[in-house]
Amino acid sequence: MRSIRRLLFFLVLSGVAACGGSDDGRESLSVLNRGLNTEPESLDAHKARSLQAADVLRDLGEGLVSFTSTGELTEGTAESWEVSDDLLTYTFHLRPEAKWSNGDAVTAEHFVFSVKRLIEPATAAFYAQFLVDVTELRAIDEHTLQIMLKRPTPYLLSLLTHPATFPMHPGALAEHGDGFARPGKMISNGAYVLTDWVPGSVLTLNRNEYYWNNANTAIDEIRHHISSQETAEYARYRAGELDITSSVPTDNFEQVRRDNGDELHIAPYQNIYYYGYNLSKPPFKNSPELRQALSMAIDRELLVEKVTGRGETPAYSWVPPGVDNYEPTVFAYAPLTQDERNQIAQTLYAEAGYSKQKPLRLELRYNTNDTHKKVAVAIQSMWRDVLGFEVDLINEEFQVLLANIRDKEVTQVFRSSWVGDYNDAHTFLSILQSQNAANVPGYASEEYDALLLRAAEQADLDRRRLYMEEAERVMLADHPTIPIYFYVSKHLVKPRVAGWGDNVLDYHYSQHLSLKAAE
């Protein structure tokens, strides 16, 4: 068996055997090799918080609602739903044919069970706040689920595509406890099931034969290959070891465009790259002048042109452009030249009590990645040139960085990002509310919280938008973070992969893809 699997592996890498028979007469597996730039910290959907974990979880699980390959909402485990006239009650009808990977039926009660675990304080779920507006969730019968809201929530359907809202199998948790999300233990309701996980190397997923849409799932096996270095991932792609990359390296971008232009996918993306301050301790606690000085001294135009150089845009707001029914507020200094910003930054730096004789000393933490390092080195140089202080750069593995950010003991400035979980400004603004678990800087503003609460009370979408825009204006004036740039999604996709669709959320379900036969 091992020799057969090794033979199939080499055939797939060479592009010879996406389909067809093996020499022992069995059908060979169709295998898709995908890049993953960071190892998932967990595949427990209530404990996971990273983009990489979500990428894998969307292959393993399915919520009530899903997305098409180009980002349109579509049915998931629910085949239909109705919304009450007051927009406060959603009734979902589950597919009778929906099953778990062990053959059990997926029921409405499984969604209720999962939501109870999500919001249980002992779970400490990062995304528990997702359902803050839900007053009741009940299983009317085996295939009918009802969600009742305290206020209209225009993004609810989009939110229900997130892995944190996927159902969980009660039996798997009862038998394995919090260790259920491992190969051989995890029971999933999506197109694939987890069969192997080699830490630091690869996660292997195989077709879930019980999935309700298995007949339209084309690929038998998905391998998510972990590669934290973009250049190494690109080398593997060129060698034929990967069909899809998670990103494109900065240094090789022009070479990529030249050599693989037809395979390069660049698209708008709702994702902000930012630096966070630890607001619980000096030097940034109670020092908005210092926070603003550091922000203004960064030449964002230079960064996106010379350092990242792959279509990113400078960030002078918190909410990215292009979000539905929203016009982002920008920093008051956005219209100024960089020279003018630098002069103001120097004044603010002095007002905060720092000078050449008494320079600020900082540590900047970022997780292992070529681009993160280049951005950090560039900003280190900008702060030195404009404000005259040195920054110690500390490179940490992603899980270590997350733990340090959460503990708020050693962090001062840290690299982070936020990806829109749904196409609404709320997904960006809500993470800086004082009680939100995603509020990693620790920002607390009564005025900001009150404005977002007023926005949430509005049934009129235009009035809701005005309150949210004012909240963003208040927050930007406080400078709790440094917005740096807005991403674009960047992938290389082999010609043999069919079904790929660019979309603003950068969601690419493996079940939407297929492999063309070798010519």
- Domains of the chain from N-terminus onward: 37-226 (3.90.76.10), 268-489 (3.10.105.10)
Q: What is the pLDDT along the chain (519 residues), one digit of tens a residue?
A: 433 333 333 333 333 333 333 333 335 789 999 999 999 999 999 999 888 999 999 999 999 999 999 989 999 999 999 999 988 999 999 999 999 999 999 999 999 999 999 999 999 898 888 888 999 999 999 999 999 999 989 899 999 999 999 999 999 999 999 999 999 999 999 999 999 999 999 999 999 999 999 999 999 999 999 998 889 999 999 999 999 999 998 878 889 999 999 999 999 889 999 999 999 999 999 999 999 999 999 999 999 999 998 889 999 999 998 888 899 999 999 999 999 999 999 999 999 999 989 999 999 999 988 889 999 999 999 999 999 999 999 999 988 999 999 999 999 999 999 988 888 999 999 999 998 888 999 999 999 999 999 998 888 889 999 999 999 999 999 999 999 999 999 999 999 999 999 998 899 999 999 999 876
**CA 2, CA 304: separation in Å to the nearest integer?**
47
296 SS3 class: helix
With a CB cutoff of 8 Å and minimum separation 6, the contacts of 306 are: 378
With helix as H, strand as E and coil as C, how does 195-223 read? Answer: EEEECCCEEEEEECCCCCCHHHCCCCEEE
**CA 80, CA 107: separation in Å to the nearest integer?**
15
**CA 212, CA 105: separation in Å to the nearest integer?**
10
* pTM (2 d.p.): 0.77
Secondary structure (DSSP) of 27-85: BPPPEEEEEESS--S-S-TTT--SHHHHHHHHHH---SEEE-TTS-EEESSEEEEEE-T
Q: Kindly state the helix (H) or strand (E) to which residue 481 belongs, with its residue range.
A: strand 481-492
